[in-house]
Amino acid sequence: MRLLLVEDHVPLADELISGLNSKGYAVDWLADGRDAVHQGASEPYDLIILDLGLPGLPGLEVLQQWRSGGLLTPVLILTARGSWAERIEGLKAGADDYLGKPFHPEELQLRIQALLRRSHGLVNQPTLEAAGLQLDESRQCVAQDGVEVQLTAAEFRLLRYFMHHPAQLLSKSHLAEHLYDGETERDSNVIEVHVNHLRRKLGRAVIETRRGQGYRFGATTE
Ligand code: CA
């Protein structure tokens, strides 16, 4: 899952990026509202975290421009603590959720998790379930037929993306765009390696290869 963080307070941005990276999210960071209008609409983000007080262009106007342009990406806004006016304006402008500063990092993680699941039509439960697997996002491991299987960080990120898109055909380049931030060089051969590792751990049928097209997760086991 690839997120855009728009936040001009550098120490907070640093803290959020490292926390989100440790939870397996690829994060692109911007501090300026004008840059955010363009990049948020042109890169395929799974979710956007948007501060409202920004240089260049206020976050509220950034959000309004995204929504009037038809951008459907879930947006979580960061508001001043106790400012009900900001929350109301943000929700009216098309925010999906909000968090008042300061907040606990775990609350942000859980809200992101819930928003991502909701945007994919999935139920928000302690574990994410698809194709007979239960993914524990907080512990980054998966259970299959009651047996817990350990995952590397890269395997967890890939499996989480697959489990949010069951039975969908996903090309290697699509997967790379959603698993790596904009700074990381994308090598689709690496995706293939991780797919093979997941198959070795969870069984070949879990991920189907469509030659020249990509992968389908959970297509044959449902
Ligand atoms: Ca700010």
Read off the pLDDT of residues 36-50 as tens digits, 9 standing for 90 and up. Answer: 999 999 999 999 999
**What is the average pLDDT across 136-144?**
96
Distance CA 169, CA 167 (A): 7
Distance (angstroms) between ligand 1 centre and the Cα of 86 equals 13
- Residues having C-beta closer than 5 Å to ion ligand 1: 8, 51, 53
Give the 3-state secondary structure of residue 204.
helix
Distance (angstroms) between ligand 1 centre and the Cα of 116 equals 24
Distance (angstroms) between ligand 1 centre and the Cα of 84 equals 17
Specify the pLDDT at position 222.
42
DSSP state string for 29-54: EE--HHHHHHHHHHS--SEEEEESS-
Q: Is residue 24 over pLDDT 80?
A: yes
Specify the pLDDT at position 221.
42
User: What CA–CA distances, in Å, run from 82 to 69, 77, 86, 90, 171?
Assistant: 30, 14, 9, 14, 44
Distance (angstroms) between ligand 1 centre and the Cα of 124 equals 30
Q: Give the sign of the dihedral formed by CA 84, CA 88, CA 89, CA 91.
A: positive
Q: Is residue 200 over pLDDT 80?
A: yes
Select the more confidently predicted residue: 206 or 125: 206
Tens digits of residue pLDDT in 94-130: 999 999 999 999 999 999 999 999 999 998 888 999 9
Distance CA 191, CA 196 (A): 9
Distance (angstroms) between ligand 1 centre and the Cα of 7 equals 6
The answer to whether the pTM exceeds 0.75 is yes
Q: Is residue 220 over pLDDT 70?
A: no
Task: Give the chain's mean pLDDT.
Answer: 95
Look at residues 96, 65, 67, 101 and name the one whose alpha carbon lies nearest to residue 81.
101
Distance (angstroms) between ligand 1 centre and the Cα of 78 equals 9
Distance (angstroms) between ligand 1 centre and the Cα of 62 equals 13
Q: What percent of the chain has pLDDT over 70?
A: 99
Report H helices in the chain: 10-22, 33-42, 59-68, 84-92, 105-119, 153-164, 172-179, 188-202
Distance (angstroms) between ligand 1 centre and the Cα of 32 equals 10
